Amino acid sequence: MIYFDKVSKIYKDQSVALEDVTITISPGEFVSIVGHSGAGKTTLLKMLMVEEKPTAGKVFFESIDVQTLRGKEIPTYRRRIGVVFQDFKLLPNKTAYENIAFAMEAAGRSDEEIASDVPHALELVDLGLKRWNFPHQLSGGERQRVAIARSIINQPDVLIADEPTGNLDPINTQEIIQILKKINDLGTTVILTTHNKGVIDSLGKRVVTMENGRISRDDEKGRYVM
């Protein structure tokens, strides 16, 4: 489904973010990308989201060369990719339900679809009883679960989780990881970036290790080795 073909990224100040990266991610995979800060993980994800363009090489999503997408085509393409961030990015003046519904409204979904789908998404992340709570009334783990529900509400093919547990304690971290595994079991491709060794070692899934803009390891059932 996703193919980075000899991708390099050199910025105007001549700093090298990626160098000759080739990687394939198959439909339905759960892949963790690890590496120290500055290793190239975020740049790699930005390429997939068409937020950055490679200096050399190509990025494919299925048969789409994402570099060739026109401006008006990019929003439609990005709806196929859900994103969860470390800092949640919830709207503070909207309830959990409304935060998720807002993502559906932005995608042009009907009121009937919203009324049907949002409760299911909340149940998936175990927040059915807190649908009318505002973000400030939720714990950090609960806010991240709302963010996950929002990211999958439009049924993306791929979920990017960029350091989703960075601000959470160990108990909430494991709850978030279990939810990501559940989403993957339902057929969504999951790409996780994290510095958390315990998370990586407990998953037993594919681990891609990046160093200085290159892939240094790619283990089918890996552990955090740096």
- Whether residue 224 is predicted with pLDDT greater than 80 in this model: the reply is no
Mean pLDDT for all residues in the chain: 93
Residues 101-122, mean pLDDT to the nearest whole number: 95
Q: What is the mean pLDDT of residues 121-138?
A: 96
Integer Cα distance of 161 and 194 in angstroms: 9
Cβ atoms 202, 28 nearer than 8 A: no
**Average confidence (pLDDT) over 164-180:** 91
Whether the per-residue pLDDT at 167 is higher than 90: the answer is no
- What is the band of 38 on the pLDDT scale with cuts at 50, 70, 90? confident
| pLDDT over 90 at 226, yes or no | no
Residue 126 · residue 144 · CB < 8 Å: no
pLDDT band at 208 (very low <50, low <70, confident <90, very high): very high
* pLDDT digits 0-9 by tens, 69-91: 998 999 999 999 999 988 889 99
What tokens appear for 29 in the block? 């995979």
Mean pLDDT of 27-35: 95
Q: What phi and psi values does residue 20 have, to the nearest 5 degrees?
A: 55, 50
Confidence of residue 198 (pLDDT cuts 50, 70, 90): confident
Structural domains in the chain, sorted by start: 26-53+74-219 (3.40.50.300)
Query: Residue 32 pLDDT more than 90?
Result: yes
pLDDT at 188: 97
pLDDT > 90? residue 15? no
Q: For the chain, how long is the longest CA-to-CA vector?
A: 51
- What confidence score (pLDDT) does residue 69 get? 95
Q: How many helices (H) and strands (E) does the chain have?
A: 7, 10
Residue 59: what pLDDT? 97
User: Cβ atoms within 10 A of the Cβ of 157, count?
Assistant: 17
Mean pLDDT across the stretch 9-36? 93
